[in-house]
Structure 1
Amino acid sequence: MLVLAGVYLAVARLGLSLSTVGGNVSPVWPPTGVALAALILRGPLLWPGIFIGAFLATASTGVPLSVALGVAAGNTLATVLGAALTRRLRMGSDLSRIRDVVVLCVGAGAVCTGVSSLVGPLCLLLGGALPWELLGRAVWVWWVGDLMGVLVVAPPLLLLSRPTWPHRLGEAVALAGLTTVLGASVFLFRNAQPGFAHAASFLLFPMSAMAALRFGPRGAAAATLAISTVAIFGTVRGQGPFSSGNVAQDLLVLQLFVVVNAVTGQLLAAASEERRRAVEKLQLLATTVRGVHEGVFIAEVEGPGRLRTVFANEALSLLLGRPPEELVEQDPCKMYGEQDPRLCQRLNAALLAGESLCVEVTVPRKDGRLVSTEVLLSPVRATGGDVSHFVATHRDITATKELQARLVAAERVAAVGTLAAGVGHEINNPLAYLVLNLEAATRALSEGGMLGQRDAQSSVRGALEGAERIRLIVRDLQVFSRQGDQDRTLVDLNALVPPAVRIISHALRHRARLVEEFGPVPKVLGSEARLGQVLLNLLVNAMQAVPEGNPTLHEVRVRTSTDASGRARVDVVDTGMGISAQVMARIFEPFFTTKPTGEGTGLGLAICQQIVRTHGGELEVRSEEGKGSVFTVLLPAAPVQMEVPPRPVARGKPAVPSTGRRGRVLVVDDEPRLAQSMRLLLEPYHDVVMTTRGSEALALVSAGHRYDVILCDLQMPEVDGATLYRRLGVVAPELTRRMVFISGGAYTAETRDFIETVPNLVLEKPVRPEVLMASVDAALDTLAAQDEEDGPVVARAGGARH
């Protein structure tokens, strides 16, 4: 504080030596710049140092102490207000922004110095140190002097408070020397031609501009200080282009030159700094975008819904397997290939509305492989204008999707595994019934006679009933064990609930009553296996929420209905323990579980929510601790409520041929006992050839044997059903139409694709005898119809018709 007071006093004495009004008012007043810089750099608590320095400087001129106190108060108030304004407006002391220069020049310089330029002359007037007629001039000169101090002295102090050597030291020294020499030649020599001298003074502006452009605000401040010092020194001595013999007038005119030079230099330096930072940010952004691991493209909007790619980074090129030049100048929508129409509608709507969009898109690579990506499409708007560009980032989520599929499969297995004991009991009951009836039939047949035959027939019918019950249980399990079933079809939730209920019923009966309540519900577009998994998981969750011991006190209710907005609704209600508020906030978090170790994975509800959201729906929960919970699945209704035609399957025909035609049948199944059973069933009515390997079937056909019907298992080692179909298409194409496939479950993606695309009949194991017989009859009827269309010619090869 004392140092500031001493510096202020010394600089003020220098300014007072150039006073032009009453011996107390000077057009050159550097103390204001010193005081403002001190308060900005060191804080407002130094204001007493300014007050002391200003008081001593003013008192040294012989004015009364009261006048000195008033002048010191005005000078201090002006600088405190200027410093407060710069802090309030967050002015940077490095003056590297145009707004910083404006705040300094206009706010702290032009506005705040008006306080001291009014207070000071009025105090001198009231103290008798200034005549009334000089008041206006004194205010003007005082304000010009303070403004010069702010613009010329404050910037060098602010910028040189943390001195650093310039990177181009040699250039800086040369420019400083040239500026000094040019300034001295203009202001320190009397010229006989004033017009030439005025013109020469303009040569200093390029020097100041060069310093600002090459060395930023520091260079501009240093050049302004040097030029101003030389100009004031020369003008006071009566030299330079602004000298006219009247020093007071000359100094005022000179200040206009100084102010214009200082403001121009600082603004130019700030603009140069902002441009440099913008270029650095742009280069950093470009480098970052090029090196980022996510694929990025920038597209220019050429019209409504029309885009043109102007940039694509290396990551996007690697993701798509295409060089960048194939992506640039193209419509980016083409890279997405054929997508779901609803997705295309969302993309087009986002483009037309200029809105952001985050979607999952399957992108085809150049080699044909499909890559799952998460695309974030963001609009870029011109300043205050329309959308000019779109930026899209592509994140490869192929591995994430595979992991999610594995987690879904793991949770599905865990859910079914939780019910394994109950399912095993459900199978054991009809299995025991089946075994006992078969043993009874065996004994009855061994006894012989009409009575024994009747007892045997009754026991066989009982065995068939047990086998049918086992078949239904296996079919229900298949609904929840399909792998990778992502095909969307029309799903009737009223038909999907019973299999889930049947699977869980045995495990639940010891805890609570199970109530089914079906209402009108629209069909939804989705995956039957995935939605079935949601229902099963929610039922398992409800079962585990109900304590064991007294099933008459508890209830689990499954209710289907349609909500007010037309969505399909399924409620799973339990009267169990309920969920606390703390747990409720986390129930959908992956791996969060309140169950003991080994009894829960913490994935069930998280995966249920994921599956429901994938179907465009919502999973809601309401619960009250101690009173149970309600989980609600809401799914959007399918756009078209129509039945999907099922794959044609022969139904309800008796186990005897409907026609008298005897055909030649080839049975191909790797399970010998099953193949033998089919042979025994068909042999009384048809000529049957049996093989357990697809390669043997190919060998028979290659040897010239022909068959009217080929019953072929899909899942076989080495040559499976799909492979046999394709190879027969080369060796004997006419036989491919006569194949009837038998599937125990499509366990691979290739098999599922084959089933969906092949036009032939596909029977699900276990095949009922009458269905198998009817399927063979249907194939023979089709063959007969084709023979009639082709004509009466029937060729023979190896004793077989074809």
Structure 2
Amino acid sequence: MSRPGTTGGVTIQARHQARVAAALQGGGLVEVIALAGVYLAAARAGLSLAAEGSHISAVWLPSGVALGGLLLWGVSRWPAVLLGAWTVALALDVSPLVGLGVAAGATLEAVLGALLLRRVACSRELHRVRDVVWLGGGAALCALLGSGLGSLSLVLGGLVPHAQWAASAWLWWMSNLLGMVLVTPPLLLLFGSWRARWNWTWETWVLPATMVAVCVGVFAFPQPGSGQAHALTFLLFPLSAWAALRCGPRGAALSSLFIALAAIAGTARGLGPFYTVDLLPRGLVVLQLFIGITSLTGLLLAAARAERREAVEMLELLATTVRAVHEGVLICEVREPGVLNTVFVNEALCALVGRRREELVGTAPGALLASPDVSEPRQLEDALREERSLRAEVVLQRPDGTRVWSEMQLSPVRANGEAVTHFVATHRDVTATKELQARLVAAERVAAVGTLAAGVGHEINNPLAYLALNLEAAQRSLAAEGAGAPAGVRDALGSVRGAQEGAERIRLIVRDLRVFSREESPEHGLVDLNALVPPAVRVVLHALRPRARLVESFGKVPRVLGSEARLGQVLLNLLVNAMQAIPEGDPGRHEVRVRTRTDATGHACVEVEDTGGGIPPDVLPRIFDPFFTTKGNEEGTGLGLAICHQIIRAHGGELRVHSVPGQGATFTLLLPPATVRSAGPSPVMASSSRQAARGAEAEEAGLPASSCGRRGRVLIVDDEPRLAQSMRLLLEPFHDVVIVTDGEAALARVGQGESFDVVLCDLQMPGMDGIAVYRRLVAQAPALVSRLVFISGGASSPEGRVFVETVANRVLEKPVRPDVLLATVEATLAGGGPPEVAARGAVGGARRG
């Protein structure tokens, strides 16, 4: 029976010969010798605690030293365990083969335990419950191997009877298990994390003293089997728990080791409650159970406290991080399906919605939403019901009524891995982005409307021009009948004059559209505010009449430097707001008053006053805020007054508002007067300002109704045959007229030697336009260039606008009034023209560049 044991021992040594050599190299030899020495010292201490007349100890301390040493220094130090265990076995007067079997069992026990705990990543700090469980479970499993081989070796060596093999193996297993549970944790905690410092407090002094006193009272007196002594042992459990909860895993390991050594020492000397006459095995088992329960309970409590502390620290870190982030964070708890309760908000969200944390915690998160879009709450409800994530833009309501656009990311939280217990909503303030987007959309709409207005105006100009010219020709023919004309002719003359008035009104409307759609509006020049008011009034007059009467009061105002189109936009917006503030149905009771004057500081002042319901005091301070509106979605976006305020501030002025509830509102526009500069305004806007200033004077002064000079030869170049024919009918009584419909035909006639006194050329034509005709005439017939008059329906290209503003020739804007056309031809024949004609420009007359 001894041969297999010998062969097994030789096989083990041969299998690990290479590892032994590696372990003996360098510092490994020192560690092997040191571990073997500690193993022998622990064995000596364990044997000293053995029961009298027996080599069996309740706790085999070397098993814990072996496992702890291999975990600290590596499994390659296993020869130290083999050497120490064999030496101890030989010291107990057993044969070398039996000793080798016992040593092999102890070595395999420690090696497998170390490999298993490293495999499962058991932490040396034992700060997790799983680490303690793996340590206890791994020790119990590996101790089976060591106790089984050791007790079997003793049976085979004849040292233990076959009948007592099971009892011997049980006690051996329990002693090895408790040795690993008691000794390994202190080694790992004291040497594995030697840098960790003790937190010396009054508890670190009181607790050991109390524990020593209780252990002395329990285990230092001969009271075997005493019920009172057994009761006193329960005092050690709260002390062990105290050490675990207040001092952590190290306190739990050291206190358990001290209690175990005191209990074993007292029992081995016949003292304490666990000593019995038949100590083996009944009394020893009770002692081992006491030690095992005490040590494992302390380690588990310490690990649970450490895990809880780490969890609390992590939660505090997360909470601090969430509080510090710039985005608003809201966490709500699902109380029941469809019912949410806010449990956490960070500072960023409080600042975003303008509320204190106490006001938000405990409330329903939906109370913060103030979205005008009904689809957003519906999407939110669907996401909550379906327990899914949602990204959406919502509007949050502040206590003062202001609204904040927020990009919300809603995420469900499944705390238990199944049901959704919480929802986390992050809010990012995108109000500025929404404002920029709205301004961009508004600018694009204005640009689109301006382009549409310019296109519509251009398309209307041509038919309106020949309509006006034909009406003028019909009026002249009917007027030639004199006072003795039949009644039907007089009625027809009245109808023609009424049609002329309608055509004139259409011309003014088209002119106003072109003023507000002018693309060169960013240019600044001298602007007469008195000239800007009538066009804006005419745009809203048709919608204002069912609501109120319009009262205009014009005073002397200084010219201002600015954009004519932008200032006209402001006036138009103020008039529209005044109109919308008055309900329909009682125009005799309400009025909208427009006044221009110079204030005490010399600023140009325009006031728009209405008799509507006024503006509430709580709304008045926010009247110029972007996106703030008291109108419905169909009437406004809250950008009109904000844009007006921005335009006036860009011009260096101020836009004020005064209102009394129930008595209407007054908007006051103040602009600084223009200062004279050496450089002067830009030629584009200076020309535009001169046109606006002189246009009304020219219309009021009137122009010659017919030619009174010599008869000339006029060439009309226009791609619109009806317009050309209308001009021909108007001019033929006084001049010889030739019509062509394109520029190449006109140049061909000039090239063939035909002479013309006046050339009326359309500026915009397909193929060769008026600009190309002008340039060709400069090269081919320079004498005719000064007699070239352009007719324009509005220059749509940048090149055309620059040409119109810089060319020296007269430019007539469609629709051309008949008297203006006749006067322009007469002035060209005479080689000059009245200043009124030269300055008319955009109001339907002629002008020089």
Q: Distance in 2 between matches of 1:694 and 1:736?
A: 23
1:321 paired with 2:354, answer yes
Residue matched to 1:12: 43
Residue deviations 1:714-753 (CA, integer Å, cap 9, x gap): 85448521212334678998499999xxxxxxxx9999x9
**Cα distance change on mapping 1:59 and 1:165 into 2, 3 Å:** same
1:722 maps to what in 2?
573
Residue aligning to 2:728: none
Structure 1 Cα separation of the partners of residues 130 and 497 of structure 2: 96
Task: Give TM-score scaled by structure 2 length.
Answer: 0.52
Deviations 1:305-364 (A, max 9, x none): 332223322211111122334333332123222353443333222101111222232334
Matches within 5 A, 1:454-533: none
The answer for the alignment partner of 1:251 in structure 2 is 284
SS of residue matched to 2:407: strand
Question: Residue 692 of structure 1 aligns to a residue in which SS?
Answer: helix
Q: Secondary structure at the match of 2:411?
A: strand
CA contact under 8 A between 2:102 and 2:149: conserved in structure 1? Answer: yes
Relative to structure 1, the CA distance from residue 718 to residue 658 in structure 2 (aligned partners, 3 Å threshold; closer, same or farther) is closer
Q: 2:406 aligned with 1:373, yes or no? A: yes
Q: Aligned in 2, Cα 1:36/1:352: closer, same or farther, shift over 3 Å?
A: same
The alpha carbon displacement at 1:94 in A equals 1.2
SS at match of 1:351: helix
* 2:238 corresponds to: 206
Pick closer, same or farther for the CA change 1:61–1:354 going to 2, 3 Å. Answer: same
**1:50 positional shift:** 1.0
Alignment match, 2:67 = 36
What are the Cα deviations for residues 625-665 of structure 1, in whole angstroms up to 9, with x where unaligned? xxxxxxxxxxxxxxxxxxxxxxxxxxxxxx98998997996
In the alignment, which of 122, 126, 129 is matched to residue 152 of structure 2? Answer: 122
The answer on whether the counterparts of 1:728 and 1:736 sit within 8 Å (CA) in structure 2 is no
Measure, in 1, the Cα distance between the counterparts of 2:370 and 2:346: 20
Q: Which runs of 5+ in 2 are unaligned?
A: 1-31, 474-494, 517-529, 542-548, 555-563, 593-625, 637-792, 797-812, 816-849
Distance in 2 (CA, whole Å) between partners of 1:386 and 1:4 is: 53
Aligned equivalents of 1:750, 1:288: Cα separation in 2: 34
Aligned mates of 1:656, 1:78 — CA distance in 2: 122
Looking at structure 1, the residues matched to 633 and 57 of structure 2 have their Cα atoms a distance apart, in angstroms, of 100
Residues in 1 aligned to 2:178 and 2:515: alpha-carbon distance in whole angstroms: 108
Judged with a 3 Å threshold, the aligned counterparts in structure 2 of structure 1 residues 306 and 256 are, in CA distance, closer, same or farther, namely closer
Deviation digits for residues 52-102 of structure 1 (CA, Å, limit 9, x no counterpart): 111111122222222222221111111111111111222111111111111
For the residue of structure 2 that corresponds to 1:241, the secondary structure is coil
Q: Alignment partner for residue 337 of structure 2, among 304, 327, 330? A: 304
In the TM superposition, 1:271-290 aligns within 5 A as: 271-290=304-323
Q: Give the superposition deviation at 1:673.
A: 11
In the superposition, relative to structure 1, how do residues 179 and 754 fare at CA in structure 2: closer, same or farther (>3 Å)? closer
Rounded Cα–Cα distance in structure 1 between residues aligned with 2:633 and 2:165 = 104
Partner SS for 1:387: coil
Match of 2:77 in 1: 46
**Other-structure match for 2:260:** 228
**What CA distance in whole angstroms lies between the structure 2 residues aligned with 1:63 and 1:41?**
31
| SS of residue in 2 equivalent to 1:296 | strand
* Secondary structure class of the residue paired with 1:130: coil
Write out per-residue CA displacement over residues 526-559 of structure 1, whole angstroms, 9 at most, x where no aligned residue: xxxxxxxxxxxxxxxxxxxxxxxxxxxxxxxxxx
Could you say which structure has the larger radius of gyration? Answer: 2
Aligned residue in 1 for 2:172: 142
Structure 2 counterpart of 1:153: 183
* Larger RCO of the pair (alpha carbons < 8 Å, separation 6+): 2
> 1:270 maps to what in 2?
303
- Please tell me whether the aligned partners of residues 380 and 391 of structure 1 are also in contact (alpha carbons under 8 angstroms): yes
Give the distance between the partners of 2:387 and 2:166, measured in 1 at CA: 60
**TM-score relative to the length of structure 1:** 0.55
Conserved 8 A contact 1:672-1:692: no
Post-superposition CA distance 1:548-584 (Å, at most 9, x none): xxxxxxxxxxxxxxxxxxxxxxxxxxxxxxxxxxxxx
Relative to structure 1, is the Cα distance of residues 330 and 194 closer, same or farther in structure 2, using a 3 angstrom cutoff? closer
Q: Which runs of 5+ in 1 are unaligned?
A: 417-422, 450-654, 677-689, 706-712, 740-747, 759-764, 771-802
Q: Secondary structure in 2 aligned to 1:239?
A: coil
**Aligned residue identity for 2:188:** L
1:384-403 alignment to 2 at 5 Å?
Answer: 384-399=417-432
Q: Distance in 1 between matches of 2:294 and 2:496?
A: 112
Residues 1:218 and 2:250 aligned together: yes
Q: Deviations over 1:145-179 (max 9, x none)?
A: 10110111111111111344432433212110110
1:593-627, Cα deviation, whole Å (9 max, x unpaired): xxxxxxxxxxxxxxxxxxxxxxxxxxxxxxxxxxx
* RMSD, aligned α-carbons: 5.0
Map of 1:103 onto structure 2: 134
Query: What is the CA-CA distance between 1:43 and the residue it aligns to?
Result: 1.8
- Tell me, yes or no, if the aligned pair for 1:55 and 1:72 is still in contact at 8 Å: yes
Rounded Cα–Cα distance in structure 2 between residues aligned with 1:750 and 1:195: 84
The change in CA–CA distance for 1:386 and 1:659 in structure 2 (over 3 A counts) is farther
Offset at 1:755? Answer: 12
Output aligned runs, 1:666-681, within 5 Å.
Answer: none
Other-structure match for 2:724: none
Q: 2:365 matched to 1:332?
A: yes
- CA gap 1:725/1:663 in 2 versus in 1, 3 angstroms: farther
Shift of 1:257: 0.9
Conserved? CA contact 1:669–1:716, under 8 Å: no
- Aligned twin of 1:62: 93
State the Cα distance separating 1:30 from its structure 2 match: 0.5
Indicate if the aligned counterparts of 2:49 and 2:265 stay in contact, CA closer than 8 A: no
Native 8 Å contact 2:350 2:356 kept in 1:
yes
Seen in structure 2, the aligned counterparts of structure 1 residues 21 and 188 have a Cα distance that, compared at 3 Å, is closer
- Post-superposition Cα deviations, 1:697-722, rounded to whole Å, max 9, x if no partner, equal 69x943599xxxxxxx9854485212
Query: Counterpart of 2:740?
Result: none
User: Residue in 1 aligned with 2:551?
Assistant: 702
DSSP-derived class of the 2:421 partner? strand
Is 1:94 the counterpart of 2:125 in the alignment? yes
Shift of 1:370: 3.5
| 1:534 counterpart residue number | none
Report the AA paired with residue 692 of structure 1.
L
Q: Deviations over 1:651-705 (max 9, x none)?
A: xxxx9899899799699899799689xxxxxxxxxxxxx943359969x943599
Q: For residue 362 of structure 1, what is the aligned residue in structure 2? A: 395
Equivalent of residue 274 in structure 2, options 242, 251, 259: 242
1:153-192 superposed matches below 5 A: 153-161=183-191, 162-163=193-194, 164-191=196-223
What's 2:532 paired with? 692
Seen in structure 2, the aligned counterparts of structure 1 residues 408 and 222 have a Cα distance that, compared at 3 Å, is: farther
Give the paired residue count. Answer: 511
Matched with 1:557 is none
AA paired with 1:179? M
In structure 2, relative to structure 1, the CA distance for the partners of 1:88 and 1:304 (3 Å cut) is same
Following TM superposition, by how much is the alpha carbon of 1:25 offset from its aligned partner in structure 2, in angstroms? 4.8
Matched-pair contact (CA < 8 Å) for 2:52–2:268: no
> Equivalents in 2 of 1:657, 1:233: separation in Å?
133
Note closer, same or farther for the CA distance 1:68–1:695 as it changes in structure 2 (3 Å cut): same
